[in-house]
Homo-oligomer: A and B are copies of this chain.
Amino acid sequence: MGLNDLGKIDEVIHGRMRLGIMVYLADAEAADFTELKTVLEATQGNLSVHIKKLEEAGYVAVAKSFVNNKPLTRVSITPAGRKAFAAYLEALGGLIGRTP
């Protein structure tokens, strides 16, 4: 039964906004905070909360710098994040794949 894959669904990634962040970074490798905010149609606060959660899990890394005296926040997927995302996709595929 596909349902034993349910337990393997990583809740850190499964949250809709965090899933969007991981999908984007799995493809783009890294992105600025403002770029993520635009493509995910997220608010500043909401996006920060979810990036923080992914960072605490070690799935993304956050680099803060100044460009032309302006603060720049860049978010990138980590090797651990790639691994966890691949496992998540597999668990989800196992769970959903079995639906008629």
Interface residues of chain A, those whose CB is within 8 Å of chain B, are: 1-3, 6-7, 9, 11, 14, 16-17, 19-20, 23-24, 26-27, 39-41, 85, 89, 92, 95-96, 98-100
**Copies per complex of this chain:** 2
B residues within 8 A CB of A19?
6, 9, 95
Q: Quick one: closest B residue to A24, CB to CB?
A: B3
Q: Is A16 within 8 A of B6, CB to CB?
A: yes
Classify the secondary structure of A's interface with B: helix
Once A14-B14, A16-B14 are accepted as A-B contacts, the answer to whether A23 and B95 lie under 8 Å apart by CB is: yes
In the complex, what residues of B have CB within 8 A of residue A92's CB?
92, 96
Query: Given A89-B99, A96-B92 in contact, is the A6-B27 Cβ separation under 8 Å?
Result: no
